[in-house]
Amino acid sequence: MTPRPIIGITTQTLEAIPGELPRCWVMSQRYVDVLTSVGAVPWVIPLTHEMSTLREIYDRLDGVFLPGGVDMDPATYGEAKLPVCGATDADRDRVEIALVQWAMAERKPLLAVCRGVQVLNVAAGGTLYQDLEHWTASPIKHDYWPSDGNHRDDLVHEVRVEDGTELATIMNAGTSTVNSMHHQGIKRLAPSLVANAYAPDGLIEGVEGRDDGYLMGVQWHPEELVDHAPAARRLFESFIEAAAAQQPEVAAR
């Protein structure tokens, strides 16, 4: 027997409300519920400034999950912040970049969605478009925000999954229709990553590692699709299988 794999889920800063609420770390329960449903033990990770504590947390994890959230600070990829860039979270950038770099160095399974795939690319040496409306390649609409009356599980544009990639093994090659809630995207792909999915406008929508470790990121939100899209559930299942495969066998009691 092996224990259920422990999967770390990063958080985001909720700033203090003076006189009402101290500074908090928060994250959507949806990620916890979906990872639990495929056999994980979720571990919500604080954005601690104590890097030794963060490392102790990381060492106890069987896999790392990077969820969606606010924009990355362009300083993390060597650019000045433009007015089109939205809210950022320096503590989250710092923690997630460290976790990605540790996981890549040690081949610990990692799955990233939406903001997470952008963090993965930056941590590996890539860059981002600060706002896709300013991308000169005539982009399609990518920012279907729920605040504008859209639903988080709305299927709004196709992605082309590249044949021969690990993502194609999981989801099948060809086209798939996905949800989309982002206004930034991958600009220069990190050298250690492979693009495995593209939007109709050519924007990279998925990446994976070049070796046989489990390192996967997608720009859409598969956690919102698992209830009616088998491919979305297979993505999470493949991640948990990879995390479980790293565990030593435990003798039955």
Token pair 């007015």 is found at 83
Q: What is the 3-state secondary structure (H, E, C) of 65-116?
A: EECCCCECCHHHHCCCCCCCCCCECHHHHHHHHHHHHHHHHHCCCEEEECHH
Q: Does a structural domain hold residue 157?
A: yes
Rounded to the nearest angstrom, the gap between the alpha carbon of residue 142 and the centroid of all alpha carbons in its chain is: 16
Q: Does a structural domain hold residue 165?
A: yes
The rounded distance, in Å, linking the Cα atoms of 193 and 216 is 9
Burial tier of 164 (Cβ tally within 10 Å: 0-12, 13-18, 19+):
exposed
Output the domain CATH number for residue 217. 3.40.50.880
CA distances, 189 to each of 113, 161, 207, 253 (Å): 16, 16, 9, 48
Full domain range(s) for residue 137: 6-245
Q: Using the 8-state DSSP alphabet, how is residue 148 labeled?
A: G
Q: Does a structural domain hold residue 117?
A: yes
What is the reported pLDDT for 250?
41
Residues near 33 by beta carbon (within 8 Å), at least 6 away in sequence: none
Q: Which residues are known catalytic residues?
A: 114, 221, 223
How many domains, the chain?
A: 1
Q: Does a structural domain hold residue 118?
A: yes
Q: Does a structural domain hold residue 253?
A: no
The rounded distance, in Å, linking the Cα atoms of 135 and 50 is 38
The rounded distance, in Å, linking the Cα atoms of 173 and 162 is 6
pTM of the entire predicted model: 0.95
Q: Does a structural domain hold residue 251?
A: no
pLDDT (tens place) for every residue of the chain, 253 residues total: 679 999 999 999 999 999 999 999 999 999 999 999 999 999 999 999 999 999 999 999 999 999 999 999 999 999 999 999 999 999 999 999 999 999 999 999 999 999 999 999 999 999 999 999 888 777 899 999 999 999 999 999 999 999 999 999 999 989 999 999 999 999 999 999 999 999 999 999 999 999 889 999 999 999 999 999 999 999 999 999 999 998 765 433 2
Q: Does a structural domain hold residue 81?
A: yes
What is the reported pLDDT for 1?
65
Q: Does a structural domain hold residue 250?
A: no
